[in-house]
Structure formats: C-alpha cells, structure tokens
Structure 1
Amino acid sequence: MAELRSKAEHTEAIRTKGRVCLVVNTRSRRGRRLFPEVVRALHAEGFKPVRTFTVDDPRALRATLDAALDERPDLLAVGGGDGTLSAAVKHVAHRDVALGLLPLGTTNNFARSLGLPLDLPGAVRVFRTGKVADIDLGVAGDREFANLASFGVSVEVAGKVRPWLKRVLGRPAYPLTALTILPGHRPFRAAITVDGHRHELLTHQLNIANGRFHGGWQVARDISIDNGLLVAYQLGSGKRLRLVVETLIRAATGRWRSLAGGPFVVGREMLLETDPPMAADVDGEVRLMTPITIRTIPNGLRVMVPEEFVDS
C-alpha cells in the first residue's frame, strides 16, 4: 500500500488546490441528463476539473478510471449508480486519492451509507465543506466491495430487473421484480461460521453487508460502514409467503430493525456454505460461488464525507 497523507492534510489539499478529476457514467439512470448540471455544480463550488470523462459504454469504465487516476488527482469525483461506484472503489482502494460520490443511480446504497446528500448540489458541496475519511471495505473471496454480498432471489432480480422499470419506478422496481420471481424460487440451506460458532438457516435470501443500506432502504440503524464489522441477515425464511410479506412491507415502508432485535449475525470474518452452492452478487458482480469467506479490511478506502460523519 502506498503511503497516505493524513486525513487532515488530504482534506486541506482538496479544499485549497482543488485538483479534481470527474468521471460520469452517462448510461446511468440520471447520468446523461444531469451531466451538465454536475459540471455547473463543480464550478459553482470553485472546482475546475483537471480532466472530465464521460462513459457511455460500460466496457470502457475501468480504462476510463485508470486514465483519470493517471492525472494524480486529490479527489476522483465519480457520478453513476452503485455499479459504477463499486467499480471506482476497486480502483481507488488503498491509494492516496479520495473518492467523491455523485449519486446518480436508482438506489444509491453506498452514498446513503456515507450519509451523503442525494441531491446533486448537496453532494458536490460536500467536496468543499466535508472531510476525508477512511472507511471499511468488504472482501468476498478476492473481490473487494463497498456495500453488499447477496445470495438467493436478489441475484436473479439483478439479472432480470428491467432498465425501463428502474427509470420509471426507481427503488420499488427491485422488490416488484422479486415478487415475479418468488413463486418459482426454491429455498436454500446456509451455514455461517463466525468466531467458531456455526449459524444454520433456511431461506430464500441472505445478505452480508458492509454498508447500512440495501435496495435504497436502511437495513438497521446501528449498522456502520466504518466499524470493522460485517452483518449477515436473511429476508424472510424458507417460506415464500413470509418473504413476500416482508418484501411488500419493505417496498412500501422501508422499515428497519435494530441489530439488537433482528436476525443478524455480526463478525469480522464469515465462512458461508450453502446447499446447493449459490452464486454471489458482490456489489453487482455475479462471478463467485459458495463456499466463500467474507471479511473486512478496516480503513481500506478514502472517501469524501459530510463533516458530521463519525469517522472511527
């Protein structure tokens, strides 16, 4: 890992030197429409990007991020949905550059976990008035992630939710798509081993979270993206009806439960085994299979956050 400046020094460099590169996914839900507003908002806060990049082909995203980092910015401002931001996380992790989030997607889970404003002027204002923080990353197998590794129904939902439905409905597109998949979905058995304790369950959906939000709604108030812990939780049980009811409630209300009162397993490292073996959706990438070990990397990523963010 390269030597990092102190967070205070890094914050001061961003505020005074303003060395920013901008990358915007113009294929995201709002990216193309809001790109001119992003540029105006940066200028309004006194930032003149060293270089500006737009991405309209997802296959070019990684090369574009590399090109932006070659400019050695203090702040890499990235606009897009959670998929775009998760790709940026992998590029910025462990480097002496802060990631600035411009939440232009449907659910914006990562931005919500950092307590960022979801309006564009507010998000850009954080670059001027906020601070640099070091937050945790999760690692599933060899893949780092910011927010979530999930197993079960959500993996199918991610592949089947229609882009036009996301544009029209936003967050509710995900639970509504799940309701069309559930009637034919079979439950699976899972075993989570943490600190020598084995937890067994039967479910249609299992999540292991580093962040605090899933599908745009809060999982639990006392989850943190900066406490060195992962949280595993199931939605519903092995009974479809219960999961349907919970999915409808979450779609309608975004109801959360505290860690103290919910079916949660907490730890720094988890071994997940399933029967049958399951594909893992790791921040939008479906490339791994169970059994899988998932752990945290404390302070693995530099980000710009609001001043009131509790940075441990």
Structure 2
Amino acid sequence: MSTRTKIRFIINPTSGTSSRVDVEARIQEHLDRRKYDHSVVFTERAGHAPELARAAAGEGVEIVVAVGGDGTMNEVARGLLHTETALAILPKGSGNGLARHLGIPMGLEGALRVINKGKTTTIDSGQINGHPFFTTAGIGFDAYISSVFAGNKKRGLQTYVELVMKEVRNYRHLPVIASINGNTLDTDCFVMAFANAAQYGNNAYIAPAADIRDGLLDVCLVRRLDLVKALNLSYCMLTKQLANADSAEYFKTERVTVEAEEEMMYHADGEYLGKASEFEVKMLPLSLKVLVP
C-alpha cells in the first residue's frame, strides 16, 4: 500500500503561454514522485475547477494544485474551502496575486520546489455577496477596470496601468452608505477595495498592511479620483506604500455593508461579477489550507 501523498493538478489550458504538454512535462520532471502520487486533470469551461476541486477533496486527495491565473486559483480554492485538502499554486496568469503574497516563485520549477517541501498553513478568505475571494474584492472603478481588462488581449501590469490612466477621467463616483466597525459612512465612492491579501497582483499593493491570517479585511476607500490622485495612488501601489489621506482612506474590519443609490460593478480576485446596489463583505477566518515556502 502506497504511503505517498495524493496530489492532483488542475490545469487551465487557456492560462498563460506555456502549452499543456510543457506543464505536464515540468511536473513529471520536477515533482518529487517519491513523496507524491500525482494525477492531472484539465478544466473544460469556466466554473469547472470548483467541481474538480470538490471532487478531489471528496476522494481524499490531500493537495490540489491550481495551475493558472487568479481566476483559476479562485475557482480551485472555492472548491477547497473548509476542507482538509490544501491548495497549492503553479502560477501561470498575468497577476498571480495570492501566489505573490504568499511568496511562491513565479516560475514553474520554483513553485514545484515549494510543493515538494510540503509546508502547509491556513489562511483567511473573504466573501462579497456570497462569492468567495482570496486576495481582493471591490466595487466601483476597480471592478469596471476588471470588466474592461477581461476583454483585452494584452495582459500584465503595464496594460492594467494604461487602462486605469485611460478610463479614470470617464468614470464617475457614486454616493454610497457604508457600515464599517459600527460607524455609518455617508460618502462618495469612486472605488472601495476589500483586501484579504496585500495586492491585486503584479506587485500592485492596494493594502500594504493586509495580513492574510488576522481575520480582518483591509478596506481602501477612494471617494473621488482625478488624474493627479490617480498618479499618486498608482505610485504608492507600485512602491508598497499607503496613499496619502487626500487620495485614499483605510479601515480594518471583519465586515462591511454598502448601499448604493445606483447599481455598481463588483469583482472578486479580479473576476468581474456583475452589478448590485447592496453589498455584504465579510471574512471567513482561517478557512483555507495552503502550501507555502
């Protein structure tokens, strides 16, 4: 009877530029097969990865590896929430926010070395209107950019920044009523970001002080944003600094509710989810096991 740990790789064949054969070949070459009994499955459609992850957990697979970008990571992690099965990540996307926050190397060989060590910890996750997220969620401008970015053929940080600079002048703030730490905030809202991890991805830090294990959301509120403030906020994000008070406000809380006069766009882990006029955002403390360096 084998005493090797069961590990399953869930590969999104549309993520990144490496071919399916290349990823499988690197797994075969660099995975410690004395330690692991591995299997590989491929996603066939959006929403398939949570099904595959839940099935793996139900079969007693101890580690499930998301091979893809933040969208794939989110789907696999959703399928593993509140289970004993740990998430591992082979990053192949354009942002790779959770992998970067956890210190997982961006190269497949380096990420496989992390898996070979098999060090596990438990992290928080969040929910926005019932939809889980693991790095960030948000309403307003960042969700709008997510919707535009999703349809853009070019990926990466430069494309993201170019879109922000192009669209910032055309997007208008909206009035909202937010409840944070028992206080009611009647405010304008250009963007409200809810961070479990420190960054969106690509080392763009929306909440540099975020701790993925403290049970708290780091909320970044931008009331109004002009081009000057956008440049300041972008600079701070890229240099891992808190923006000045004129550009953004920060809060730590377990739960946020927001009511908007008009429907606003929202996202989870960079995936555009649609529009709503009411939002409930909350933490799920220590709800996901992950492999870390």
TM-score past 0.5 threshold: yes
Instruction: Indicate conservation of the 8 Å contact 1:154/1:205, yes or no.
Output: yes
Q: 2:101 aligns with which of 113, 128, 140?
A: 113
Q: CA RMSD in A?
A: 2.6
Unmatched segments (≥5 aa) in structure 2: none
1:309 alignment counterpart: none
1:293 alignment counterpart: 280
Are 2:219 and 1:232 equivalent residues in the alignment? yes
- Counterpart AA for 1:164: K
Unmatched segments (≥5 aa) in structure 1: 1-15, 307-312
Are 2:250 and 1:276 equivalent residues in the alignment? no
- Counterpart AA for 1:23: I
Are 2:130 and 1:142 equivalent residues in the alignment? yes
For normalisation by structure 1, the TM-score amounts to 0.81
Task: Please state how far the C-alpha of 1:215 moved relative to its aligned partner.
Answer: 3.8
Residues 222, 153 of structure 1: CA spacing in aligned structure 2 closer, same or farther, 3 A cutoff? closer
SS in 2 for 1:99: strand
Normalized per residue, the structure richer in strand is 2
- Counterpart AA for 1:138: G
2 CA distance for matches of 1:28 and 1:41?
A: 21
2 CA distance for matches of 1:52 and 1:288?
A: 36
Q: 2:157 aligns with which of 171, 196, 210?
A: 171
2:42 alignment counterpart: 54
Residues 210, 288 of structure 1: CA spacing in aligned structure 2 closer, same or farther, 3 A cutoff? farther
Q: 1:197 aligns with which of 183, 198, 216?
A: 183
1 CA distance for matches of 2:67 and 2:175?
A: 38
Instruction: Indicate conservation of the 8 Å contact 1:229/1:296, yes or no.
Output: yes
- Counterpart AA for 2:287: G
Q: 2:8 aligns with which of 2, 10, 21?
A: 21
Residues 218, 183 of structure 1: CA spacing in aligned structure 2 closer, same or farther, 3 A cutoff? closer
Structure 1 window deviating more from structure 2 (217-226 vs 143-152): it is: 217-226
2 CA distance for matches of 1:52 and 1:204?
A: 43
- Counterpart AA for 1:158: S
Residue by residue over 1:260-279, the C-alpha shift from the partner in whole angstroms, topping out at 9 and shown as x without a partner, is 98620111111122332312
1:6 alignment counterpart: none
1 CA distance for matches of 2:216 and 2:255?
A: 8
Residues 227, 259 of structure 1: CA spacing in aligned structure 2 closer, same or farther, 3 A cutoff? farther
Residue by residue over 1:81-107, the C-alpha shift from the partner in whole angstroms, topping out at 9 and shown as x without a partner, is 000110111100001100111111101
Report the identity percentage: 20
1:211 alignment counterpart: 197
Aligned residues: 285
Normalized per residue, the structure richer in helix is 1
- Counterpart AA for 1:228: G
Residue by residue over 1:103-150, the C-alpha shift from the partner in whole angstroms, topping out at 9 and shown as x without a partner, is 111010111122222221121111222421111011222222111111
For normalisation by structure 2, the TM-score amounts to 0.86
- Counterpart AA for 2:238: G
